[in-house]
Amino acid sequence: MAGIALTLLLLAAVAGYALRLARPASEAVRLRNAWRLQPSERSDFAWIPPQFPPGFNVERRPATEEFRAIAATVGVGAIDGDWNKALALAQHLTERAEDKGAIQADPSTSYRLIRRGYGYCADFVKVFLALAHASGLCARQWGFSFDGFGGHGHTIVELFDRQRGRWVMVDVYNNFHFVDAETGEQFLAPGETGEIILRAPQLMSGYWNNPAETAAALRRHGDGGPWLHTGDLGYLDADSYMFIVDRQKDLIKTSGYQVWPREVEEAIASHPAVSEVGVAGIPDAKKGEAVKAWVVLRAGQTVSEADLRAFCRDTLAPYKVPSHIDFRENLPKTMVGKVLRRALRDGG
């Protein structure tokens, strides 16, 4: 078995090297990270194009006169900002969206059928990209092959917002909302943190032989089909950017306050002596739950619990500063390298 595993790793390494020769480096990085053969580095996603990134012309079709005319009809030329242009194009495509089936045709045919209510996520993305390129936007397709939203795979768009100097995701097809995390009912306004819910034609119909889990995950809010309650907490800012805060089940409730483990982890991880960190809530007789951090230090580095707690006070509210810090040599993780907060919490 060890020999087979070594052979597979060698083949993957050779394939990765060949991929870098054949594609722009950014695409090789993305496929490498999808395979999870090695952890991604922050610099892998930090490349910022002055106009369009190197190699982008490989993925970018020339804008046709037809789609230039459509973009002009939408009025993109009079709209300021890449993000606002992208929203206008997405709204134009989805204003008549119904569930009449996939198209899988050329962009021109797909556009005409989308305007009649047909189309699947990939069809919308293909037409959106044609309109985006005709409007001078830096956008490209980004696909998920896993069932991450309770559907059957999902395709969205990555847009470089030149005004903000950052890459953002544009979901052209699905419908997102935020609801009160406690009740799962009240729709929230921008800026309010709640559970992310999703509705789309490709959603699952339920969990196999598990009606209780199906009823908890798929709920109806008004007219239309059911909404998938994702268990993720997030919010929209004033510019309609979505931010994911944390998993709902990981929320720490201490002394009547709510603490997102991710926020505490990011604060601790910014300390130069820290290599890895996991944060979770543990039972506390007075507070209900107390914030606890499990920390792995970098080789040759030292820091005391008191110093690390003082470091946290520079960026965190007092109730978010860990009451307990446990130094470890390693942390329990999933096969893809994600820290298992539940294992930390259960292990004490």
Residue 197 belongs to domain with CATH number: 2.30.38.10
Query: What pLDDT score does 264 carry?
Result: 95
Radius of gyration over every alpha carbon of the chain, rounded to an integer in angstroms:
23
Phi/psi of residue 323, nearest 5 degrees: -80, -25
Q: In terms of pLDDT, which residue wins out, 17 or 303? A: 303
The pLDDT of residue 331 is above 90: yes
Query: What pLDDT score does 48 carry?
Result: 43
Q: In terms of pLDDT, which residue wins out, 1 or 232? A: 232
Confidence of residue 255 (pLDDT cuts 50, 70, 90): very high
Q: In terms of pLDDT, which residue wins out, 33 or 267? A: 267
Same domain, 64 and 98: yes
Is 229 within the bounds of a domain? yes
Average pLDDT over residues 92-99: 76
The pLDDT of residue 96 is above 80: no
The pLDDT of residue 100 is above 90: no
Same domain, 73 and 166: yes
Average pLDDT over residues 15-38: 36
Same domain, 135 and 162: yes
Query: What pLDDT score does 18 carry?
Result: 43
Q: What percent of the chain has pLDDT over 70?
A: 74
The pLDDT of residue 199 is above 50: yes
Is 40 within the bounds of a domain? yes
Kindly give, in sequence order, each residue whose CB lies less than 8 Å from that of residue 161, ignoring residues fewer than 6 positions away.
81, 82, 83, 167, 168
Q: For the chain, how many structural domains are there in total?
A: 4
Query: What pLDDT score does 235 carry?
Result: 86
Query: What pLDDT score does 45 carry?
Result: 37
Q: Is the overall model pTM greater than 0.75, yes or no?
A: no
Print burial letters for 151-163: b (CB count within 10 Å at least 16), e (below 16): beebbbbebbbbe
Task: For residues 310 and 202, give the distance between their C-alpha atoms in angstroms, rounded to a whole number.
Answer: 48
Query: What pLDDT score does 146 carry?
Result: 40
Same domain, 162 and 65: yes
Is 65 within the bounds of a domain? yes
**In the listed set 247, 265, 297, which residue is the last one of a domain according to the structure?**
247
Query: What pLDDT score does 244 carry?
Result: 80
Query: What pLDDT score does 224 carry?
Result: 67
Same domain, 93 and 162: yes
Task: For residues 150 and 200, give the distance between their C-alpha atoms in angstroms, rounded to a whole number.
Answer: 10
Same domain, 158 and 188: no
Task: For residues 177 and 81, give the distance between their C-alpha atoms in angstroms, rounded to a whole number.
Answer: 24
Q: Which of 147, 172, 146, 149 is nearest to 159 (CA)?
A: 172
Task: For residues 313 and 261, give the distance between their C-alpha atoms in angstroms, rounded to a whole number.
Answer: 15
Average pLDDT over residues 258-275: 93
Confidence of residue 34 (pLDDT cuts 50, 70, 90): very low
Same domain, 148 and 188: no
Which tokens hold the place of 50?
């002055």
Same domain, 68 and 153: yes
Average pLDDT over residues 42-66: 54
Is 53 within the bounds of a domain? no
Q: Are 90 and 169 in contact (CB under 8 A)?
A: no
Average pLDDT over residues 250-270: 93
Query: What pLDDT score does 63 carry?
Result: 67
pLDDT in tens, 102-155: 788 888 999 999 888 888 777 888 899 999 989 988 887 765 434 444 444 556
Query: What pLDDT score does 41 carry?
Result: 40
Which tokens hold the place of 63?
């804008």
The pLDDT of residue 168 is above 80: no
The pLDDT of residue 31 is above 90: no
Confidence of residue 201 (pLDDT cuts 50, 70, 90): low
**In the listed set 149, 170, 191, which residue is the last one of a domain according to the structure?**
170
How far CA 26 is from CA of 20, 54, 163, 333, in Å, comes to 9, 9, 21, 27
Query: What pLDDT score does 309 carry?
Result: 96
Q: What percent of the chain has pLDDT over 90?
A: 35
Is 9 within the bounds of a domain? yes
Confidence of residue 20 (pLDDT cuts 50, 70, 90): very low
How high is the mean pLDDT of the chain?
Answer: 78
Is 273 within the bounds of a domain? yes
**In the listed set 209, 226, 247, which residue is the last one of a domain according to the structure?**
247
330: number of Cβ within 10 Å: 9
Same domain, 143 and 228: no
Confidence of residue 177 (pLDDT cuts 50, 70, 90): confident
The residue segments making up the domain with residue 305 are 251-347
Q: Are 282 and 348 in contact (CB under 8 A)?
A: yes
Kindly give, in sequence order, each residue whose CB lies less than 8 Å from that of residue 4, ignoring residues fewer than 6 positions away.
none
Query: What pLDDT score does 50 carry?
Result: 45
Task: For residues 177 and 234, give the distance between their C-alpha atoms in angstroms, rounded to a whole number.
Answer: 10
Query: What pLDDT score does 14 carry?
Result: 45
Is 75 within the bounds of a domain? yes
